A and B are shown apart, each in its own frame.
Chain A
């Protein structure tokens, strides 16, 4: 293998930040011309993404264990800021950059086509926020100290908030933005407590000092800190039941930003969980407390199943995609399993590596196909201005490229071979099986249950995407907008094709990507890298040892199966043409003798109905049918149907909290006098009480 010697990577992270910074600045300077701002801003974002690709590949393919450290300008007298890019950071930078390339290529045409009458100032603001968003995501992953991490984390939240509310000025977007802000800052508050507890003990902000400080923690504090951080990151990752902001905020943003928020921003939270669990808070030389792994596995399993079940009943294309945070659940299953197995295996076992490899690979896979699907939804949206799939249909004939690429993404996200979603799910299943063999008793049972739920998730995702693709792109158009849709501009298709190529490459030849996973897996787990375990038999074969090395293992070859599939398909194509090559006739679809109209198409509501009834306990479906009859009940003039399902987390949890807060506010309002000295007195009283308390505790 070769090393990257020609380029000095040392200043690479700064170059990435500089590109995004230049993009943000130039779009502000060019705010008098929307066209110019869009062009320059996205070009700079593309440059930043390509630089990010270069830096991350340089670190991942370079000598093992390498960490780039780069000091940042001194902004605060009390802390030295720095960037540190190790294997884990570089891998997540790679994931961000992969999707950022697509978003930067896709963006200009999308923003122009979607809202042609938007003012130049708004477009400039969107591009500014996009660059800040991308830059701060990159900085979060490359941060070498707590302060840089938290500042970039906040920058990421604020920039994405601006993007969420930027598209439209109606109440719905504003409410979505507000909910997002509240949830995100609730999470940030938890992170702040976790970080500040550590920095207070360390007396410094950089991660190396935090690691040393965490070494001296007792078990309870360590676990408490982990759960604080996990809670903070879980809000951002949108795990059930903290997911309520996802389906509102993600669809509200411009589609390429939705792709970034859903495909990448959630992954930054995964990065945070990994950094905290395996690096900052990990006990020296010992296994992680078993409660951590259990909690992550449980949360992951719940999110996987509930996420896909709620997605199944959504008929808004972007909302449906946003609900598919079930993939974060699959990620968390892998991570939780790695936490449980790490340093608990008998000698020679490498199951933790398999589990972590599965989770990390799924991170990249999910970014690729989720990004692709959101971009596809964006193409549909910008050509039809409709998000409700009931009013779409027939788009495959009008937008063949978009349809084909969306179908590819749908197959990938449903974890079907030969695409990439299957590879990471296969690895997750293998790790789960190995874990079940390793832990007998209740632990094994829990792992097996997670495996069963993961299997259920895969089937439900396939059902969901058969619906999403079929109802949106096939059949007859059910509205004039869908009828007159045309193919998306070329640059948008190019953005989608890039991500589709990633999906195919990672599906057909995943063995070659394992080398990229060496850095993060070996770095975090202090053991063999991913390629030494998973591609021990050459890059064409994926193999896992369910038992310690030396006994029977499972091996598959995605490449061979894909080749077989293509060869058989070629033969089937010959068969399909028939022996006589008889001419093809077209005829209207048979609709029992009536003249076929778009009303004969099966709707998304109808498609999802059987599963709605099967899982009625979770959905609490409600429907209302009103008939308008002409005198007798047998002649129906029109039927009005309205149906909805409820999100259990929302009604059982959030609405209650909201009611309590409102009631409390009412009580306070009754007591509040409106006189300013009353409030000042209250503030002084609180301050006095706080000081007294502090004095008692530390005195």
Chain B
């Protein structure tokens, strides 16, 4: 008697483990049943679509959509696009699987476990990894691709194509670039004239701001991409192709344009351009410094125009990137530092409703950029949109529309190597800190170049 009772006690552990597994099995079985049925429905849908007129009610199709959905920048376009989808394709039921900024950990796990969403937001890192492992559908010949491209503004047709020559993801968005924002009040107070055109003027201005107790430029250098963009802003004054120029076979020496840029970066830092705590400053802190007048300048993408306008109204404007001399400044100001990068809404190769998913992905890409253009008045979209814009864009955006868009001479070119880009992230951030010089920077980047070229 006793013995059995004790054994029973001890076996509790085993039972626990087993029952858990059993639970899992049940659930998984249920899921299998579910997906089997939806599979069937899908089959019927496709056949129906081919043979029957669309008047007939179509069987609903459920698509899992892995997309960012956590703030106004991501929720509003989603809601806009989904509302439009409901009208256009009422038989599609989009199930949102919210995506986080996690360096693609989750989507890679999805791929590894064969649990891919039908449609997902893919950046180049994911496209590259998924193209090799066949987790992403090649869209080159799909009809929606042709339809989408036929609506693109001229010059943008290539923007969907990845470096391997294939199209993997849809986007109707344009290429982002970074600007230097400045506070008119701060400039007036310190007696600095805008725009700053040369590095010499910039250094002079830094002195004046510091005398006034202002932070010359606030930057959220806790995030590495912004220091990367800052450096790219300097590089593109002399090498409009940007980092792509570093990816030349056999090239192991940093070209002069890059050395000059890192020297300028170093000199500006030494002059005191950045706050001492810059690399621990997040976006919320850095933007607050600028909005509240504690910093004279701020660096961010053109999307910041909305936030800056809301917080500072007519007190804020933007300038082009300064260069080594005024001639270079004038010559290069319409070369933007942003580089187009393949990415957007992609479709899983294992999706059970691939046809539908491709259609929906293209539709969503269209609607997302329509939202940018129509609702935000953002002109930087690849897609031709005929509907007239009803909103008045902020003054700074109007300047982009009037002054920049018609005159763009070029964007930086896309650089493929994630290794190089990560090294640039690390080293540009380090360059913001005292004690790390342009020499260290050049050395480190040249080491990576030796590896990749």
A associates with B: no
Residues of B that sit less than 8 Å from A by CB:
none
